[in-house]
Structure 1
């Protein structure tokens, strides 16, 4: 198989795995609702998956380096497939078993996702594909998978029942493992990056490197803030605004859909123009456009067209953010540290998701919707402006210390 086809296979396998994860986002809460009828238990299961995902993304990476990235990816996906079959059986196993199984699957997905992303770089270089093209195209395809996966999850539950939908999710993990096991052969230098030091020392090396790279830290801080805004908006702010102003739940889908449409258009534009744009200034500009304006529009306007236009433009802005972070991680971090640093970066970026949902609900309960939106907008603006001075004068990547 040619290097370009290997790259396509690797990306396709990752997207198939992500599709299964999007299906489970719909199917597993529905399983909990069917078997327990408890919204609180639905939240507990979601938390049980998210926390291990964040922890394994950061803490399991030294083991992945020792085992080998490709082998870790295959083992994580095979184990996830088997455990998702067990999840489908939990009506007979009980709620405690469901929580435990979902937690283990979350941990496996965290390290599995990270090692696939590390493998993208050597695969792209072998195929002669520019990293900024790869990260941009992957980000756009990932958004399509997210949109399609949520809808597919609902339809699969309707067509095949919740157990059938979860079994289909398990099959996606199996297909991903099969594709990578049979068709992906990363260059020997990156297939296994065994580290001579022990686990704690290896993990500390990733922390030390990331702690010295102010550019990456500032970008990750922005990503965490934008994830916080996104989750607070989806879980709390937009539903409340739609209920208060429109009184029609159809407006919720319209606002969320417009943002996704803007992100897809922005991704197409960035794929074409991205290689010619100044990277860090583009990152900061995209972050500024994508976060604060849509919160301010919700706080100050009761006109749906105004909110839709601002939300659409914010979606265009977000399209540059993730691809540029991906390129920075690939280009600035040495190959022997990429698994650990990319894992830590994923955890730091995603930590804004659970924080956003909690802050969104608390802020509205404490201050009301409009003041909460303006406070969140101010905080987001402050965070996205912080790296501006660094973006104007990019600092070289730190040299890793020898161990």
Structure 2
């Protein structure tokens, strides 16, 4: 198989795995609702998957380096498939068992997702594909999978029933394991020169990320954006729609406008991204993708205006994740990438669970308009922090001076 086909297989396997995760987000809470009738338990089972996902993304990567990235990916997907079959076929085991199974699936998904992302760089280099183009195309496809996955999960439950929907979900993980196991032989990234203990290996990732202030500031920006976006999706936008439009259809329009803008932005960035100054583009994309969509909700009740600004914000946000991906691949030595990518994923997603809580608290304490203005101000300040001189890109922290044409964040 040619290197380009191997890269295509790797990306396809990762997207199929993500699609399975999106289906689970719908199917498993529905299973809890059918078997217990408790909204509280629905929240518990969702948290039982999210927290292990975040923890394993950061803490499981030293073991992945020892086991091997490809082998870890296969084991994680095969394990997820087996556990989803157990969830589908043994609902009679009770709620505590379901929570335990879902928690293990979350832990497997966390480390499985991270190791696939580490394999992207050597596969792209072997195929001669620019990293910035790969990360942009992957981000766009990932957004499309996220957009379609939840809807597909609901349709599968409706068409085939809950048990079969969960078995189809399990099959998606099995397909991913087979693709990687049978068709993929990517060049392995460099490993550390000598074996290290688990704690020393993990500490090496923390140290490297802590020394790279530029990369750390980018991650904090994305974590803040995720927090604000989750607050707006969970609380602010539904309340604005209820007050201004009094129709739930408006919620779908606003979320669809942002997704459509992001997909268009990914397409544009895939074409023009390699020519743009990366660091400045990251800052501008974060600034456009965050605060404006909150400000317009606070300042306008006109749906057309809100939709237009939301669409533009989606275009802006499309540059952020691909540029972070390129920064990690190019600023982190290959032997540390598994650990740093794992830590970066956990830090980037850390704002998600806090977002919904903060959204509800802010509206209760300040009212909707004031909460939106406060969140917009916070978002603007955080997204402009990378412009501080101390946080601008310099030579990579491993001491290498990048070549001019391949500087990780030129401009």
Q: Which TM class, normalised by the smaller chain length? A: over 0.9
Q: Residue 126 of structure 1 aligns with which residue?
A: 126
Q: Residue 153 of structure 1 aligns with which residue?
A: 153
Equivalences for residues 187-202 of structure 1 within 5 A: 187-190=187-190, 196-202=195-201
Q: Whole-Å Cα distance in 2 between the matches of residues 363 and 194 of structure 1?
A: 49
Q: Is the 8 A contact 1:215 1:390 kept in 2?
A: no
**Cα deviation code 1:100-151 (max 9, x no counterpart):** 1111000000000000000000000000000001000000111111111111
Aligned residues: 400
Q: Residue 373 of structure 2 aligns with which residue?
A: 374
Q: Residue 257 of structure 2 aligns with which residue?
A: 258
Gaps of 5+ in 2: 401-411
Q: Whole-Å Cα distance in 1 between the matches of residues 180 and 314 of structure 2?
A: 32
Q: Is the 8 A contact 1:238 1:252 kept in 2?
A: yes
Secondary structure at the counterpart of residue 393 of structure 2: coil
Q: For residues 393 and 232 of structure 1, do their structure 2 counterparts lie closer, same or farther at Cα, with a shift above 3 Å needed? A: closer
Q: Whole-Å Cα distance in 1 between the matches of residues 127 and 168 of structure 2?
A: 32
Q: Residue 177 of structure 2 aligns with which residue?
A: 177
Q: Is the 8 A contact 1:9 1:184 kept in 2?
A: yes
Secondary structure at the counterpart of residue 378 of structure 1: helix
**Cα deviation code 1:367-389 (max 9, x no counterpart):** 11111111111111111111113
Q: Residue 282 of structure 1 aligns with which residue?
A: 281
**Deviation of the 1:89 alpha carbon:** 2.9
Q: TM-score, normalised by structure 2?
A: 0.95
Q: Residue 106 of structure 1 aligns with which residue?
A: 106
Q: Is the 8 A contact 2:219 2:344 kept in 1?
A: yes
**Deviation of the 1:390 alpha carbon:** 4.6
**Deviation of the 1:185 alpha carbon:** 0.5
Q: Residue 67 of structure 2 aligns with which residue?
A: 67
Q: Whole-Å Cα distance in 2 between the matches of residues 391 and 345 of structure 1?
A: 20
Secondary structure at the counterpart of residue 399 of structure 1: coil
**Cα deviation code 1:152-186 (max 9, x no counterpart):** 11110100111111111110100000000001102
Alignment of 1:357 onto 2:356: yes
Q: For residues 35 and 184 of structure 1, do their structure 2 counterparts lie closer, same or farther at Cα, with a shift above 3 Å needed? A: same
Q: Whole-Å Cα distance in 1 between the matches of residues 389 and 27 of structure 2?
A: 43
Q: For residues 188 and 282 of structure 1, do their structure 2 counterparts lie closer, same or farther at Cα, with a shift above 3 Å needed? A: closer
**Cα deviation code 1:9-64 (max 9, x no counterpart):** 00000000111111111111111111111111111111110000000000001000
Q: Residue 385 of structure 1 aligns with which residue?
A: 384
**Cα deviation code 1:54-101 (max 9, x no counterpart):** 000000010000000000000000000000111113421111111111
Alignment of 1:348 onto 2:376: no
Q: Residue 240 of structure 2 aligns with which residue?
A: 241
Q: Whole-Å Cα distance in 1 between the matches of residues 194 and 350 of structure 2?
A: 28
**Deviation of the 1:188 alpha carbon:** 4.4
Secondary structure at the counterpart of residue 387 of structure 1: helix
Q: Is the 8 A contact 1:65 1:194 kept in 2?
A: no
Q: Whole-Å Cα distance in 1 between the matches of residues 164 and 396 of structure 2?
A: 48
